[in-house]
Amino acid sequence: MRGRTNRTEKLDLRLTPNAKRALQNAAQATHKTLSDFVLESALARADSVLADRQIFRLDARRWNAFLAALDAPPRPRPRLARLLSQPGILD
């Protein structure tokens, strides 16, 4: 498991009794400590969420279109400009 040898950071969670019991049961069923089970599960979910945000592949045509879109000046957004010019609920 990554990060196993040098755990210097702490994360506190507030759980319902049912949530804690479910995590404890799952940890016990997988022969892991509660901390190891929660950490491994959270890291697996983080990897899943971030997978499509870290690397994406484009062929040459799509890559050039992507670069052109990044280099293009922003398009006018009159509705957004109007929204941002109005006072917000906290103003």
Max Cα–Cα distance, the chain, nearest Å? 58
Q: pLDDT-based confidence at 68, cuts 50/70/90? A: very high
Minimal CA–CA distance to 34: which of 50, 13, 51, 48?
13
Q: What is the pLDDT of residue 72?
A: 97
Residues 6+ away with beta carbon under 8 Å from 27:
33, 34, 36, 37, 38
pLDDT at 53 over 90: no
Domain positions in the chain? 13-67
- Tens digits of residue pLDDT in 26-43: 999 999 999 999 999 999
pLDDT reading at 2 higher than 80: no
* Helix, strand, coil tally for the chain in percent (to 5): 60, 0, 40
